[in-house]
Amino acid sequence: MIPNKIVVVIDFGSQYTQLIVRRIRESGYYAELLPWDVSKEEVINLNPGAIILSGGPSSVYERHAPFVQDYFFELNVPILGICYGLQTLVDKLGGRVEKSSKREFGRSTLNLIEKNDPIFKGIQEKIEVWMSHSDRVEELPQGFYVIAQSENSPFAVVRNKEGNIYGVQFHPEVSHTQYGTKILSNFIEHIAKLDKNWEMKDFIREKIEEIRNTVGKGKVILGLSGGVDSSVLAVLIKKAIGDNLLPIFVDTGLLRLNEKEEVIKNFENLNIDIIVVDAKEEFFNALKGIEDPEEKRKVIGHVFIDVFEKEAKNLSKKYGEIEFLAQGTLYPDIIESKVSERKSASKIKTHHNVGGLPESLDFKIIEPFRYLFKDEVRKIGEILGIPYEILNRHPFPGPGLAVRIIGEVTKESVNKLQLADHIFIEELKKNNLYDSTWQAFAVLLPIKTVGVKGDFRTYENVIALRAVNSEDGMTADWSKLPYEFLNHVAKRIVNEVDGINRVVYDITSKPPATIEWE
């Protein structure tokens, strides 16, 4: 479902860009994210009602810096530039942008000059906004004027006389900016004058109908992990085609403690029969001697595909030809896979959700969530009546505990990590801290340290605990868990997990670190 008159967000590389799309959708309008060098035809085909230019790390005066394309102004739709988006607008239209003598990062006070401007409807005269820039506008293009200022940004919000081009120096999409979502929705509602067109109930109804029409009486197989995305997808497809859904759960041996049993129980309660494949030995054999994290991910991906393909063939013998494969691909997966093709992209880790299936599987792919964010999938789950415990599980990586074991993955190392991780999560839930953290887990380190247990000297492994708060995993801050709680968890791990004599807590944010250790 892509509604008429959508908001097109142009990506100039900001770490916050996906948040712009999310904020717009949360306000009830459909938005899509496209690269800055997108073709005119692709934009026109989306029938844009407004264009928003994101921030980015570049400077407009740098050689090969991305720029706002000329045809954007020919589309006759309102344009809003954010941070770098403002600067490239000003530069393109004849204004001047220079490196600022005083860089501005963090909170700043915005003073409204034209408080009656429609973009400020319902907003007080002074608000706190989030700045992140080292360049600033020094001279506006002809026909533009300033409507709000901050201490270090004399042109913090600008517009043209016609009232169809705006620019803001701060980031309205981040939670640190007061009324940030309101500013975005004001631009869409009062300046672009678009009607609300994005509601999850409509999406569910249309997707169920679409799946029924596509599949008919055919069978659909689904790789089920038990996580939020695949669980919601399974319930949605079951609602559409009933028992013609064949969910496959692969036990890789790299799951959390009692994971398989919990998944089976959860889906029994949802009246969905799942096919369980025990492939632990295949995964452990393939991982022997491998320590490099990227290589681990590749090996796990290949083995998973082999196991899945084998099971798919077995099911085809039983049920006849299976045409369709359902995947829980999300919009960030699509964006990241596209970004990796760009010249400026930096590869952080292998992404296994998009484009990882061999042509030999020869299925027609069904991806109902390919334009959704995880919070939108959770909303669908709520509407479908999926229990809170499933919808609010912390994210878990596709390669499982293998990326939380630094070094070689063995049955012994997995067992240690499973027990330590289980203690951590169990205590978070007991102390009502689980829902206040976005993701929490334990990591097994390959180093050993000297310790004392009873009257004996020990030389055993270290467990690192990691807990972060985040909105979407793109950025994250470490969770300030109580000292007494961490002390209790550390004591339990050291006392109850053989081979562990030391526990440390990771207090690094993302960036500079990633959330996972591998």
User: Which of the residues are catalytic?
Assistant: 83, 171, 173
Q: Which stretches within 351-391 are classed as H helix?
A: 374-383, 388-391
Of 462, 232, 202, the closest CA to residue 369 belongs to: 232
Half-sphere exposure of 41 (CA within 13 A, CB side): 0
Q: Which two tokens stand for residue 493?
A: 């791990």
Q: What is the dihedral of CA 185, 189, 195, 199, to 10 degrees?
A: 10
Of 382, 363, 364, the closest CA to residue 374 belongs to: 382
Q: Are 9 and 21 in contact (CB under 8 A)?
A: yes
Half-sphere exposure of 304 (CA within 13 A, CB side): 23
Provide the angle, in degrees to the nearest 10, between the axes of the packed helices 411-430 and 483-496. Answer: 140
Length of the chain: 518
Q: Is the bond leading into 511 cis (omega within 30 degrees of zero)?
A: yes
Q: Which helix (H) or strand (E) holds 92?
A: helix 84-92
Q: Report the DSSP beta bridge partners of residue 442.
A: 465
Provide the angle, in degrees to the nearest 10, between the axes of the packed helices 17-26 and 331-339. Answer: 150
Of 79, 13, 2, 81, the closest CA to residue 42 belongs to: 2
Chain-centroid distance of CA 18 in Å reads: 8
What span, in angstroms and rounded, lies between the C-alpha atoms of 367 and 327?
A: 5
What span, in angstroms and rounded, lies between the C-alpha atoms of 252 and 302?
A: 12
What are the two backbone dihedrals, phi and then psi, of residue 326, each rounded to the nearest 5 degrees?
Answer: -95, 135
Of 242, 207, 221, 418, the closest CA to residue 326 belongs to: 221
Task: Annotate 349-368 with b (16+ C-beta within 10 A) or e (fewer).
Answer: ebbbbbebbeeeeebeebbb
**Residue 41 three-state SS:** helix
Task: Annotate 198-235 with b (16+ C-beta within 10 A) or e (fewer).
Answer: bebeebbeebbeebeeebeeebbbbbbbbbbbbbbbbb
Provide the angle, in degrees to the nearest 10, between the axes of the packed helices 374-383 and 228-241. Answer: 40
